[in-house]
């Protein structure tokens, strides 16, 4: 009965524990997102030093995300996930025992960055595992479930857990408790997932083959330009969300919202994203991956990005109207969920390398989003930055138009030939 229910939901029973593992691991990774920076500045670091710490951490995440796909193929998904777990634990141990007590950046930066290498290897290696295991007609739904688990842990449950844990445990013990969640996540995802087909990867027999395949994590974007386009689209996907946190809170409070109202609006944005990651995974399998990304993802994000600015301008601090705009934006960010299924199907023989490009895009979005704010808000203001993001989302819709599957190309050529013969 349980297997039947999971099947109807688009989740294979052999991999169901993996989703739970990803959720728990990402909860442990994300529980400090909303408060660690302010804690560090309250205890000795300057804002600039805190920003440097998180910038280098973000770079480590981007690098690990980039190579997670090829490492999952070289080592096998289980071993790559285990490596991610070990790096996260090692980085956390040194960061908490030496880094924070001394507030020494020379220790904090490398150890927190080591922690940052861990989650992409763990989570994205499981995603590669899914792309090989899942039948193509259910791949969009399976990937949707992955992003539900990922975003639920990182952006939603981690924040809610901290809101309850901090008053009871305090900051340091709350940080230590992350190890409990990541350990449970590792047990569920690595040990309890029952698929054995990719447990030990034997396709690489020599070091030269390993190095050559590692290089495909870079070269595939040029060998298969559609994969490169997918990386650009993935970068745009969450760039707006990462940029909003830099300037929208101040803008909303200038309009007249309270800090609590804005936090509720922002929380609703990500809660909506979690729900619609699954919905758009299913829609993508039915309507088509490319159409879902173009219209719901690109065009939808453009509309709601503009709405997040203009609705408060026109209606003032109208909580429910602005809340709807945030929910709409979060939903449309999830409209890109089928991108993984689309790009790995473009390169079916090099799915790990294709995933590396997508994961690089995910990492780069954490840089590009805030960089746009820093570079342009002084000259074009809040409205100008909003229109830059709106334009980028429309560009992503246009780029997606050119990411066609091999069978679509064949059908198009056959149609052209038929038309030519008919004329």
Tens digits of residue pLDDT in 63-78: 888 877 778 878 888 9
What is the per-residue pLDDT for 420? 38
Q: 9 falls in which pLDDT band (50, 70, 90)?
A: low
Residue with tokens 């101040």: 250
User: What percent of the chain is modeled with pLDDT above 90?
Assistant: 41
Judged against a pLDDT cut of 70, whether residue 414 lies above it is answered with no
Q: 290 falls in which pLDDT band (50, 70, 90)?
A: very high
Alpha helices in 224-318 (DSSP H): 225-255, 259-287, 289-291, 300-315
Q: 135 falls in which pLDDT band (50, 70, 90)?
A: confident
Pairwise CA distance, residues 42 & 44, whole Å: 6
Q: 30 falls in which pLDDT band (50, 70, 90)?
A: confident
Residue with tokens 């960061």: 95
Judged against a pLDDT cut of 80, whether residue 211 lies above it is answered with no
Pairwise CA distance, residues 231 & 218, whole Å: 11
Residue with tokens 């173009």: 294
Instruction: Give the total residue count for the chain.
Output: 423
Higher pLDDT, 420 or 321: 321
Q: Using alpha carbons only, what angle is made at residue 124 by residues 69 and 325, rounded to the nearest 5 degrees?
A: 125
What is the per-residue pLDDT for 402? 94
From residue 385, alpha-carbon distances to 124, 207, 239, 392, 397 in Å are 31, 47, 12, 11, 19
Judged against a pLDDT cut of 90, whether residue 230 lies above it is answered with yes
Pairwise CA distance, residues 40 & 35, whole Å: 9
What is the per-residue pLDDT for 415? 43
363, two tokens: 């990492």
Neighbouring C-alpha atoms within 13 Å toward the C-beta of 204: 18
Give the pLDDT confidence of 57-114 residue by residue, as tens digits: 878 888 888 877 778 878 888 999 999 999 999 999 999 999 999 999 999 999 999 9
Higher pLDDT, 296 or 358: 296
Residue with tokens 């091999």: 406
CATH topology of domain 223-405: Growth Hormone; Chain: A; (1.20.1250)
Mean pLDDT of the chain: 84
Pairwise CA distance, residues 256 & 248, whole Å: 12
Q: 189 falls in which pLDDT band (50, 70, 90)?
A: very high
Domains 16-189 and 223-405 share a fold: yes
DSSP codes joined into one string, 325-347: HHHHHHHHHGGGTTHHHHHHHHS
Give the pLDDT confidence of 193-205 residue by residue, as tens digits: 766 554 455 555 5
Pairwise CA distance, residues 10 & 67, whole Å: 28
Least confident window among 103-112, 191-200, 292-301, 414-423 = 414-423
What is the per-residue pLDDT for 272? 93
From residue 151, alpha-carbon distances to 155, 197, 246, 290 in Å are 5, 27, 20, 22
What average pLDDT score do residues 46-55 get?
A: 75
The DSSP output letter for 224 is S
Judged against a pLDDT cut of 60, whether residue 2 lies above it is answered with no
CATH 1.20.1250.20 matches 16-189: yes
What is the per-residue pLDDT for 21? 95
DSSP codes joined into one string, 34-87: TTHHHHHHHTT--HHHHHHHHHHHHHHHHHHHHHHHHHHHHH-HHHHHHHHHHH
Q: Could you state, in order of their start, the residue ranges of all structural domains in the chain?
A: 16-189, 223-405
What average pLDDT score do residues 356-382 get?
A: 84
What average pLDDT score do residues 271-298 get?
A: 91
pTM, two decimal places: 0.72
């Amino acid at each position: 009965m349980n297997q039947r229910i999971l099947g109807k939901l688009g989740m294979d029973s052999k991999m169901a524990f993996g989703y739970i593992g990803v959720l728990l691991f990402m909860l442990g990774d994300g529980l400090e997102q909303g408060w660690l920076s302010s804690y560090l500045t309250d205890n000795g670091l300057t804002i600039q030093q805190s920003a440097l710490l998180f910038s280098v951490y973000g770079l480590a995440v981007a690098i690990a995300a980039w190579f997670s796909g090829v490492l999952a193929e070289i080592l096998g998904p289980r071993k790559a996930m285990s490596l991610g777990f070990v790096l996260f634990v090692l980085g956390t141990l040194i960061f908490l025992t030496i880094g924070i007590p001394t507030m020494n950046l020379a220790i904090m930066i490398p150890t927190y960055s080591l922690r940052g290498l861990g989650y992409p290897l763990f989570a994205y290696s499981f995603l590669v595992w899914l792309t090989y295991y899942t039948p193509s007609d259910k791949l969009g739904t399976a990937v949707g479930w992955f992003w539900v688990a990922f975003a639920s842990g990182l952006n939603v449950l981690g924040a809610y857990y901290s809101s309850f844990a901090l008053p009871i445990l305090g900051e340091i013990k709350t940080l230590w408790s992350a190890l409990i969640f990541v350990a449970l996540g590792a047990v569920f995802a690595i040990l309890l997932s029952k698929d054995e087909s990719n447990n030990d990867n034997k396709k690489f027999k020599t070091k030269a083959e390993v190095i050559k395949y590692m290089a495909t994590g870079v070269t595939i974007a040029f060998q298969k330009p559609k994969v490169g386009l997918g990386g650009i689209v993935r970068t745009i996907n969450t760039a707006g969300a990462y940029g909003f946190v830099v300037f929208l809170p101040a803008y909303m409070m200038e309009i007249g919202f309270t800090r609590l109202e804005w936090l509720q609006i922002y929380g609703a944005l990500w809660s909506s994203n979690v729900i619609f990651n699954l919905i758009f995974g299913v829609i993508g399998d039915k309507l088509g991956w490319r159409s879902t990304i173009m219209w719901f993802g690109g065009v939808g994000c453009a509309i709601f990005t503009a709405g997040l600015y203009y609705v408060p301008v026109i209606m003032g601090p109208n909580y429910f109207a602005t809340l709807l705009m945030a929910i709409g934006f979060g939903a449309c960010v999830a409209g890109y969920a089928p991108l993984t299924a689309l790009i790995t199907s473009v390169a079916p023989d090099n799915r790990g390398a294709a995933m590396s490009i997508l994961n690089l895009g995910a990492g780069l979005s954490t840089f590009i989003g805030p960089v746009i704010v820093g570079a342009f808000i002084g000259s074009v203001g809040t409205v100008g930055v909003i229109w830059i993001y709106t334009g980028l989302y429309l560009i992503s819709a246009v780029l997606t138009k050119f990411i066609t599957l091999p069978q679509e190309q064949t059908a198009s050529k056959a149609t052209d030939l038929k038309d030519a013969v008919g004329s």
